Amino acid sequence: MKKKQRFRTWSSLAIALVLMLMVSACSGGNSSNVTNVSEATNDSSSTNAAANNGSDNAEATADNTASNGGTVEITVWDQPNPDDTMKSIKEEVYADFEVQHPNIKVKHELMPQGTNDREVFVTAMAGGNGPDAYHSAHFPIIADWVGQGLALDLTPYWDSYADKDKFIPSSMEAGTIDGKVYGVPHDMYVTGLFWNKKMFEAAGLDRDTPPANWDQLVEFGKKLADPAKKQYGITLLGMEWADWWFEYYVWQAGGDLTHVNPDGTVQLAFTEEPSVTALQFYKDLKWKDKIVQNNVLQSYQDNMNDIFQGRAAMSNAASGGFGDYVAQGMDLNDVGFAPYPVGPSGKGPGQIGGAYWIINPKTTKEKQDAAWQYIMYLNSKEVAEKYLQFQQDNGIFPNLLSVRSDVDPSQFAQDISPELVAAVNKAASDTHLEYFLKERLTPYVVKAVQKALTDEKSNPKQLLQEAQDAAQKEVVDAYNASVKK
């Protein structure tokens, strides 16, 4: 008897303590920011069903909430960084939105910085603290996120969207899955070869002629490399994202890292001829020709620093990145951009990349509607042109590729050499999406690439064979099984 009583007092004490902890913790933290998760999830289960019925128009519901007199507050991770050159115009546009939509209040929060934005987003979503709308669902990751249940099916909204035909088709490709639209294109870029014209000139090369093929790349690279000055020909990306730049070389060699079969299953192509040729070439750049950086594993940021400070003469570059180049002290007149040098296949396609707006499937229907309103506004022609105009007025280099066909950035780029604009358009004429299932296969490809770059004696064919065997067994078999089901 006594024992039981004791136990009861114990447990009641324990409960009291937990409560105390929670109360103190909440009042200590920013309790106002904490959204009531349980409430949100309860609501969403019912509202999701409504969304799936799909017939009700977004506008109508937005009006409903307005007539109810309620204001919807949504959270979006798009607060500009303090050193964002576009800060003032963004804040102006955000303010305009709230004027035009008095029933929607947008809470702008800082997007996670650095290279771990994806991790931050997913953990926040897992915890129910994710944003209602998010504009950084990168092309290769969105399919995975849809599978994880992180992105709302936007098809009902999309079907009634007046501007839906205004988005260029290549920007819609990755975000449309099984005929359903999950993402609204936010921005996009095309990649190509950057070269530093000043360094070309100093090395006795023609400042306006980039290498046209692999042989020239090596030939030019040897002339540009100067170990005494810590200067080298072309940057490689050997860190955790090594597969990102490596795939370009595979394309140049005429292949890809994976193939998608008509039934949706995946076939690995690591050991196919082009992949092996590409890795052998990659390895030669490092060990035989010695025209890349010594520190092949250096971070993306270190690569960029080498470019900005004139240590790297050539690099992969994205059309959206020239603004950074100039912001970091490069003279735009020294920036050259062209489609990639072609490989044995005679091709050198650029990669199309970019990011989508997605909406949180776990939030309430009202918030989803409001988020859609917000996305439509920020993706409108007016806002896009407002940004471009601001960039022109302030001498900021624009992204030359627009997701909307009715917005032409080159119109707002009068100070920019037509040559550069033409180069971007040329690169955009032959493009490629990143290899399929990249988000799951990355570790296997990266391992092989890193090994080739760090071990002179390694055998590319064998490395790729090992990678393929492991990936087949651990990823692809399961994936294909799930597709067939």
Partner 1 sequence: MKAAIEGRKPQVQARVRPRIKISWTAIAFVSPAIVCFLLFKYYPLLQAVYMSFFDYKVINPPGKFVWLDNYKYLIHSTEFWNAFRNTFAFFFIYFILTFWVPIVQAVLLNEIKFASKTLRSLYLLPTAVPAVAGYLLWKWLYNPDYGLLNYLLHFIGLGPYGWLNDPSMAKWSIVLPGVFATGMGMLIYYSALQGIPSENIEAAKIDGAGPWRRMRSIVFPSLKFVIGIQFISFICGVFLTFDPMYIMTGGGPASSTKTLSMLVFNSSFKEFRFGVAGSISFVMFVIIAVITYLQIKLSNKD
Partner 2 sequence: MAGRGRIKEKGSLSVKIVSYSVAIFFILASIVPLFWMVSSSMKDNITIYKFPPTWVPEVPKSVSVTLNYDGTDLKKEDYELDAMEAIWFTWKRMQNEAVGAMKITGVKDGVVVYKASMPSYKFTVGRSEIVPTMVATHATMKNKLQKIRDRKLTTFDYMEEGGKYGGETAIPSELPQQAANALKWLSESKVVKGKVLTIDEISDWKRLFDNYIVLWEMTGSSDSKSTAASYGFPHFLLNSVFVTGATIILQLIIGGTAGYALAHLMRGTISGWLTLFFVATIMIPEIAILVPLYLTMDKLHLVNTLWGIILPHTAWGIVIFLFKGFFEQLPGELLQAGRIDGASEMKIFYRIVVPMSAPIFTVVAVMTFIAVWNEFLWPLVVARTQNVWTFTVALNDFQQRRSLGSNVIMSSLVIATIPLMIIITSCQKLIEKGVSFTGLKG
Question: DSSP alpha helices (H): ranges in 316-437?
Answer: 322-327, 365-378, 381-393, 418-429
CA distance 153 to 134: 14
Could you say whether residue 108 binds partner 2 (CB under 8 A)? yes
In the complex, least distance from residue 42 CB atom to partner 1, rounded to whole angstroms: 14
> 30 touches which of partner 2, partner 1, none (CB within 5 to 8 A by kind)?
partner 2
| 254 counts as binding partner 2 under rule CB under 8 A | no
DSSP bridge partners of 196: 335
* Region 267-306 residues binding partner 2, contact defined as CB under 8 A: 299, 301, 304-305
Is residue 19 within the footprint of partner 2 (CB under 8 A)?
no
Q: Pick the piece of the chain touching partner 2 (CB under 8 A) from 66-74, 118-126, 183-191, 345-353.
A: 118-126
CB nearer partner 2, residue 13 or residue 25: 25
Of 362 and 451, which CB lies nearer to partner 2 in the complex structure?
362
Q: Please give the size of the binding site for partner 2, defined by CB under 8 A.
A: 58
Which residue reads 């409108």 in tokens? Answer: 380
Per CB under 8 A, which region of 110-118, 134-142, 167-175, 218-226 contacts partner 2? 110-118
Measured from the CB of residue 227, what is the shortest distance to partner 2 in angstroms? 10
The verdict on 30 binding partner 2 (CB under 8 A) reads yes
Q: Shortest distance, CB of residue 127 to partner 1, whole angstroms?
A: 8
Instruction: State yes or no: residue 324 binds partner 2 (CB under 8 A).
Output: yes
Which among partner 1, partner 2, none contacts residue 208 (Cβ within 5 to 8 A by kind)?
Answer: none
Where is 143: in which H helix or E strand?
Answer: helix 139-148
d(CA 371, CA 190) in angstroms, rounded, equals 28
Nearest-angstrom CA–CA distance, 378 and 385: 11
What is the spatial distance between Cα 477 and Cα 441, in angstroms, rounded to a whole number? 12
Within 10 angstroms of residue 351's Cβ, the number of other Cβ atoms is 24
**Does 114 contact partner 2 by CB under 8 A?**
yes
**Residue length of the chain:** 485
Instruction: Provide, rounded to whole angstroms, the least separation between the CB of residue 13 and partner 1.
Output: 5
Instruction: Say if strands 266-268 and 258-260 run parallel, antiparallel, or are unpaired.
Output: antiparallel
> Of 73 and 240, which CB lies nearer to partner 1 in the complex structure?
240
Q: Which helix (H) or strand (E) holds 234?
A: strand 232-234
- CA-based nearest residue to 194, from 342, 282, 313, 290: 313
Instruction: Name the residue nearer to partner 1 (CB basis): 6 or 164.
Output: 6
Q: Among 328, 405, 429, 462, which residue sits at the site for partner 2 (rule: CB under 8 A)?
A: 328
Q: Return the one option of partner 1, partner 2, none that residue 8 interacts with (CB less than 5 to 8 A, by type).
A: none
User: Cα(299)–Cα(244) distance, rounded to whole angstroms?
Assistant: 13
Using CB under 8 A as the binding rule, whether residue 172 contacts partner 2 is answered as no
Which residues of the shown chain bind partner 1 in the complex (CB under 8 A)? Answer: 6, 9-10, 13-14, 17-18, 21, 118-119, 122-123, 125-126, 148-150, 230, 238-240, 293-298, 361-362, 440, 443, 446-448, 450-451, 453-455, 470, 473-474
Q: What is the C-alpha separation between 345 and 348, in angstroms, rounded?
A: 8
Distance CA 350, CA 348 (A): 7
Contact call for residue 40 and partner 2 (CB under 8 A): no
Query: How far apart, in whole angstroms, are the C-alpha atoms of residue 366 and residue 370?
Result: 6
Identify the bridge partners of residue 188 per DSSP, sorted by sequence position.
Answer: 354
User: What tokens does 24 get?
Assistant: 């103190």
Q: Which of partner 2, partner 1, none does residue 43 bind (CB under 5 to 8 Å by kind)?
A: none
**Would you count residue 462 as binding partner 2 (CB under 8 A)?**
no
DSSP 422-478: HHHHHHHHSEEPPPTTHHHHHHHHHHHHHHHHH-TT--HHHHHHHHHHHHIIIIIHH
Report how far residue 377's alpha carbon sits from residue 20's, in angstroms, rounded to the nearest whole number.
45
Residue 40 site contact among partner 1, partner 2, none (CB < 5 to 8 Å, cut-off depends on kind): none
Q: Which residues contact partner 2 by CB under 8 A?
A: 21-22, 24-26, 28-31, 33-34, 37, 79-85, 87, 91, 108-110, 112-115, 120, 123-124, 126-129, 230, 299, 301, 304-305, 308-311, 323-324, 326-329, 331-332, 393-397, 415
